[in-house]
Amino acid sequence: MTTLKTTPLHAAHQRAGAKLVDFAGWEMPLHYGSQMEEHKRVRDSAGMFDVSHMQVVDIHGPQAQAFLRYLLANDVAKLKTEGRALYSCMLNEAGGVIDDLIIYWTGGDTYRAVVNAATAEGDIAHMQTVVQGFNARVEPRPEFALIAIQGPQAVEKTLPLLPADLRSAGDLKPFSAVWNNKWFVARTGYTGEDGFEVMLPAEEADGLWEKLKDVGVHPIGLGARDTLRLEAGMNLYGTDMDDQTNPLTANLGWTIALKDAERDFIGRAPIEQSKAEGVKERMVGLVLDGRGVLRGGTRIETEAGDGVVTSGSFSPSLGVSVAFARIPAGVEAEQLHADIRGRKLPVRVVKPVFVRNGEPQIELPGAG
């Protein structure tokens, strides 16, 4: 038996009666009773997530920017203000997605990345290999705990609990951060709601968690994290894309910065080639208005051949099933059919964003 890794908040999850599961080698909370209630709490008020299994990696040195401009498909040269961040893919030589991440410019020649738990080890190994050619260093920071607080009340409930010198976090624009020598507070998240992601020393995590609980911020498990991000139209690595996926077929084209023709980055050539030739698939959003739930792997019938659901679930906010699906590129039909255990159910094709800031982004049956 392999021993699962645990985060600094493991005892807190046990105290709260969490259903703990193996997630990428980490013992993490799936839910604390009801995934559905947790989902709704985040949309209606505020919830907190232990995301300490994600890995913080600092990059610094005279050529840190040059290294990251070569390593990442998005262009860190766009980061003009200290503390600003951008979302990027890290591609392999074939243009497949090694991981997706958020990268912050923390001033001067320093940057901070946050990468996925499941891919962290491979990511860091890849970064260490690529950085050899640059005068820069890649430094994993496993000592941090990460807590995401999300929802319409997340900011007001969290601000008073932050160190005094970080209360300016209340004025942060999305995708920016403030920090001191111990804490790092970013206005980011994975739910489509306002909120923070807070990095702090492991030994202080339990204290913040309990204080948040005392002001009515409920713990939220990975189950609701998945339905929240799906509704928000955010991809999940390993499900919606992996190292075999052309990011242009996973709704990630907007994250690939080709504007600066002088900039070489890993995966640029194959991406430019597939752009020139035209991709054969695209990712769309689907809504099933009838009874049934679209799931990863559900077959989607189109006139140009089969597509497949990459992420699908019942949407607790909308009361219907929603999904991302990869379908043949030429298909323009507004309605397709999903094969759910042999039954062919009509599904609507929509933009793959279903809920933002608590508001439905799609038309619902029976609504105005």
Partner 1 sequence: MSEAPKDLKYTKSHEWVRSEADGSVTVGITDHAQELLGDLVFVEAPEAGSNIDAGTACATVESVKAASDIYAPISGEVTAVNEDLADSPEKVNESPFEDGWLFKVKPSDAGQMDALMDADAYAAHVEAES
Q: Tell me the window of 10-18, 151-159, 165-173, 313-321 that interacts with partner 1 (CB under 8 A).
A: 313-321
What distance in Å separates the CA atoms of residue 286 and residue 351, rounded to the nearest whole number? 8
Which residues, in sequence order, are CB contacts of 118 under 8 Å at separation 6+? 23, 24, 25, 237, 238
Instruction: Report in angstroms how near the CB of residue 219 gets to partner 1 at its nearest.
Output: 16
Minimum distance, C-beta of residue 11 to partner 1, in the bound complex (Å)? 22
Considering beta carbons, is residue 182 or 291 the nearer one to partner 1?
Answer: 291
Please report how close the Cβ of residue 349 comes to partner 1 at its closest, in angstroms. 22
Piece of 48-56, 212-220, 276-284, 289-297 that binds partner 1 (CB under 8 A): 289-297
Instruction: Tell me whether residue 82 or residue 289 sits nearer to partner 1 (CB atom).
Output: 289
Rounded Cα gap, residues 319 and 267, in angstroms:
40
Residue 65 backbone phi and psi in degrees, to 5: -65, -45
Residues in 32-51 at the binding interface with partner 1, rule: CB under 8 A:
34-36
Whole-angstrom distance, CA of residue 309 vs CA of residue 245 = 14
Using CB under 8 A as the binding rule, whether residue 296 contacts partner 1 is answered as: no
Nearer to partner 1, 35 or 191 (CB): 35
What are the residues whose beta carbons fall under 8 Å from the beta carbon of 224, sequence distance 6 or more?
Answer: 31, 35, 36, 38, 39, 42, 47, 316
Closest approach, Cβ 116 to partner 1, in A, equals 21
292 binds partner 1 (CB under 8 A): yes
The interface region with partner 1, picked from 112-120, 141-149, 272-280, 311-319 by CB under 8 A, is: 311-319
Torsion of CA 158, 168, 356, 229, to 10 degrees: -60
Alpha-carbon dihedral of residues 138, 139, 145, 150, nearest 10 degrees? -20
How many C-beta atoms surround the C-beta of residue 259 within 10 A?
9
CB of 327 to partner 1, least distance (A): 22
| Nearer of residues 50 and 231 to partner 1, judged by Cβ | 231
| Nearer to partner 1 among residue 279 and residue 318 (C-beta) | 318
CB of 36 to partner 1, least distance (A): 4
- Alpha-carbon distance of 126 to 119, in angstroms, equals 11
Q: Which is nearer to partner 1, 35 or 255 (CB)?
A: 35
Residue 353 contacts partner 1 per CB under 8 A: no
Q: Minimal distance in Å, beta carbon 365 to partner 1?
A: 15
Among residues 367, 357, 287, which one has the least CA distance to residue 324? 287
Please state, in angstroms and rounded to a whole number, the distance separating the CA atoms of residues 352 and 175: 21
Q: According to the binding rule CB under 8 A, does residue 308 interact with partner 1?
A: no
Residue 29 to residue 10: CA distance in whole angstroms: 9
In the 8-state DSSP scheme, what is residue 172? P
Q: Does 31 bind partner 1 (CB under 8 A)?
A: yes
Could you say whether residue 311 binds partner 1 (CB under 8 A)?
A: no
Residue of 285, 312, 316, 352 interacting with partner 1 (CB under 8 A): 316
Q: Can residue 84 be called a binding residue for partner 1 (CB under 8 A)?
A: no
Using CB atoms within 10 A of its CB, is residue 351 exposed (0-12), middle (13-18) or buried (19+)?
exposed
44 in Cβ contact with 358 (< 8 Å): yes
Residues 205-264 that bind partner 1 (CB under 8 A): 223, 227
**What character string, x for contact with partner 1 (CB under 8 A) and - otherwise, covers 52-71?**
--------------------
Where on the chain is the footprint of partner 1 (CB under 8 A)? 31, 34-36, 223, 227, 291-293, 295, 313-314, 316, 341
